[in-house]
A = this chain, B = another copy of it.
Amino acid sequence: MDEGSAAQPRGVFAAALTPLSSALEPDTALFVAHCRWLLERGCDGVVPIGTTGEGNSLSVRQRMALIEAIAGSGIPMSRFIIGTGSCALADAVELTRAAVAAGAAGVLVLPPFYYKEPSEEGLARFYSEMIQRVGDGRLRLYLYHFPQLSTVPITPGLIKRLLAAYPRTVAGLKDSSGDWPYSAKLLQEFPGFGVFSGSEGFLLANLRAGGRGCISANVNVTAPLAHKVFLAWRDQQAEQLQTDLDAARAVLDKYPLPSALKCVMAAISGNPGWNHVLPPNQPLSEQDGRQLIASLTALAQMKGMLGNHG
């Protein structure tokens, strides 16, 4: 493991939304503007084309277009960990190659999620084939543990196996299980392994336990609040800042993602097109949208969220 390397991603990463046209094609210009906005508002990095980015609802062609847009944006590629997982090995390889060639800091890779209860050996073979086919020493792979959606957990046994075989390449894990003790266990069992929490609710806990930070959906709109936690995590005041961040999270978590976040972006930017989501996700109803915006506005934190959007 590359423990201690200065180049390691760390801090608050937004699992970036993918803005869509009315024809449900990615709006790559608005997407790049959104990434830039997230970085300006306190994100240390951006993770496009994950669960929040509707990555699995996008075709390989559409995901390649997003990677190309990032690569051509002028934003330093060290700020990006790109979602490149797929049930299909060859698709995961194609996307990962493109991300690595573009210079991304890493890739976030779901296990293949169609077949249920695959063997640890079968999962290891998936990642191993992927790493070997990409065949690039620059690859930094973050495993994506999100059993509620993928149905396929990334177990300590699998991590151990992959770290033994690819100690430089297998860089970390995003833990979206919501099970904080699992993150803590991984941090203890694999020192230096780059564990990001999938929720900003565990941002402080994760940093204090030796983790890297969070890769979170909600920070699409709460980045300034999360940034304050990251800046202050060693200080006593961090706990209050985490509490402020949690208050915004508690409101957002009542509504389905990514629709709720897109609704907030529509309100922030004044662009109703932000509400487009790919099926099977559905836009928030008008009533839910009004309620959500009212609840957020009622929080002092909304002041920090509102602002111009590119």
Contacts and interface: CB of A to CB of B under 8 A. Distances in A.
Interface residues of A, number: 40
A282 interface: yes
Contacts of A123: 279-280
Most buried by B among A88, A111, A129: A88
Contacts of A122: 279-282
Contacts of A116: 148-149
A126 interface: yes
A94 B129 contact: no
Nearest to A63: B88
A112 B59 contact: no
A58 interface: yes
A90 B58 contact: yes
A33 interface: no
Nearest to A127: B279
A60 interface: yes
Contacts of A87: 56-57, 87
A86 B62 CA distance: 14
Given A114-B113, A115-B149, A148-B116, A88 B56 contact: yes
